[in-house]
Structure 1
Amino acid sequence: MSPVLFYGVPSGCSFGSIVALEWLGQPYRLSRVEMPEVVTGEAYRRINPVGETPTLLTADGAFLSESMAILNHIGARGVDRGIGFAQGTPEFDRLNQMLAFLNTSFFGAYVPLWYALEHGSEGTEKQVLGEFGRAKVRKAHADLSAMLGDKPWLLGGHRTLADAYFIGIARWNEYHQAVDRRDYPNLQRLFDRLQADPAVAFAHAVEEQRTAVSAGGFAGEVAFDQALAGIGLAA
């Protein structure tokens, strides 16, 4: 059985897992989950009680959630492709360190801004959340830019899972305009390089329901209800 990634739209952080699966090059399928309607519903909570995307149905038939866990699962299958590293190596530790920063500081910086947008905050609440969020986003960009330095990719000479996760979060700035990425030329350079990557172009096309040309192992999309029925969890 090929894995199935349940990915969230619009603009879910599951974008990075789609990119990583493309880089892996092994067969996989996708299942689209609308947010917030479907992701918070009873049917989706049968596979992820937290009601968040992404969730991966692995080749072994197990459900795995949380981006860091899914990316490390993909990475373990892609050591020979250089997108992940063997556990216990210094490279694995560096990758996990970067993924942790992206998952907490970089992702977390946008949380106040998403809250204000999704909950219709107004007045003082909107102002406070906006100022707090923008300050956090500026700091996260400055810190990540310093970590990247003049390296072509986040961990050095070639792309890894960290770069896949980065691009899925970095695009959130297009919603919130919290920073001008040009003020962080290291990150702008990385962002532009990733935007030109075929796997990233594929993930954008999938989200936008345009014709998507896979350079990896994409084996088709399965409707959410059909995916549940196929594993005996039909509503």
Structure 2
Amino acid sequence: MSLRYFYSPASCSLAPHIVIEETGAAYEPVRVNLAEGEQYGEAFRALNPRSKVPALQLDDGQVLTETHAIMAYLADTHPEKRLIPTDPLARARAHEWMNHCAAGVHPHFTRFFRPERFVTEGTDAQPVKDAALAAYHAALKEVDGRLPAEGFALGDYSVADAHLYVFLRWGGRAGFDLEKDFPRYVGLARRVQERPATQRALEIHGLPPL
């Protein structure tokens, strides 16, 4: 049994998809149609009861979920690819970036894109959406200020860069002027995008480059 990777185009599952392509591992990409509610079906819920992508089914049938965990696992099981630092502090920095992406940035976009989930029925969701948009912009601005002018987030390419790439793409979906507001972040995203693994993942997702 080979690896099976469950994804949905343009979702956060793009980040581990880039990483699995970086590893060169043999795997089967399995698209989950979120718009049609496939994630709530019996078959997918047997894999991930949380009904979310991504999910990685391992060779022995075990299933790993959560973007951060999947990327860390892929990096650790392919050390020759040098996708995560081995120095303890630098390694912690990689996890710091990924945790910030998942817990500090992603929630703002969720509230912007799905504000109705965060209000009671019959309540106007627009204030939630407006506040989330401002918070999302501020979060990307903070990331932009921490990134180097050249190279990648940690100097050399790592899983952190694949994760960061997704949230700048989402900034475009939110209507931000990426070039004007986040020039360093755009530079990093384009460097990530130049990598063949990213190009292969984008092709599978059916997504254009930035």
Which TM-score band (shorter chain)?
0.7 to 0.9
What is the match of residue 200 of structure 2?
202
What is the match of residue 33 of structure 1?
32
What is the match of residue 216 of structure 1?
none
More helix, by proportion: 2
Counterpart code for 1:56:
L
Matched position secondary structure for 1:64: strand
Matches within 5 A, 1:165-204: 165-177=163-175, 179-182=176-179, 183-204=181-202
Counterpart code for 1:152:
G
CA 1:153 to 1:136, structure 2 compared with 1: closer, same or farther past 3 Å? same
Matches within 5 A, 1:68-147: 68-86=68-86, 89-116=88-115, 125-147=124-146
In 2, the alpha carbon distance for the partners of 1:83 and 1:117 equals 37
Counterpart code for 1:202:
R
CA 1:62 to 1:153, structure 2 compared with 1: closer, same or farther past 3 Å? same
8 Å CA contact 2:149–2:187 kept in 1: the answer is: no
What is the match of residue 4 of structure 2?
4
In 1, the alpha carbon distance for the partners of 2:88 and 2:97 equals 15
What is the match of residue 47 of structure 1?
47
In 1, the alpha carbon distance for the partners of 2:150 and 2:2 equals 35
TM-superposed CA distance for 1:196, in Å, is 2.6
TM-superposed CA distance for 1:33, in Å, is 0.7
Q: Percent identity?
A: 24
In 1, the alpha carbon distance for the partners of 2:117 and 2:190 equals 28
**Structure 1, residues 43-96: CA drift from partner, whole Å, max 9, x if none?**
21111000000000112321110111101100102322211234x722221111
**Which one scores higher on RCO, CA 8 angstroms, separation ≥ 6?**
1
CA 1:209 to 1:104, structure 2 compared with 1: closer, same or farther past 3 Å? closer
What is the match of residue 21 of structure 1?
20
**Superposition RMSD on alpha carbons, in Å?**
2.4
Runs of at least 5 residues in structure 2 that lack an aligned partner in the other structure: none
TM-superposed CA distance for 1:97, in Å, is 0.6
In 1, the alpha carbon distance for the partners of 2:74 and 2:141 equals 29
**Structure 1, residues 137-164: CA drift from partner, whole Å, max 9, x if none?**
12111211122132411111x2111111
In 1, the alpha carbon distance for the partners of 2:148 and 2:157 equals 15
Counterpart code for 2:165:
I
TM-superposed CA distance for 1:19, in Å, is 0.5
8 Å CA contact 1:78–1:84 kept in 2: the answer is: no
Counterpart code for 1:90:
L
CA 1:169 to 1:141, structure 2 compared with 1: closer, same or farther past 3 Å? closer
TM-superposed CA distance for 1:28, in Å, is 1.7
> How does the TM-score come out when normalised to structure 2?
0.87
Moved over 4 A (4+): none
> How does the TM-score come out when normalised to structure 1?
0.79
8 Å CA contact 1:76–1:85 kept in 2: the answer is: no
Runs of at least 5 residues in structure 1 that lack an aligned partner in the other structure: 211-235
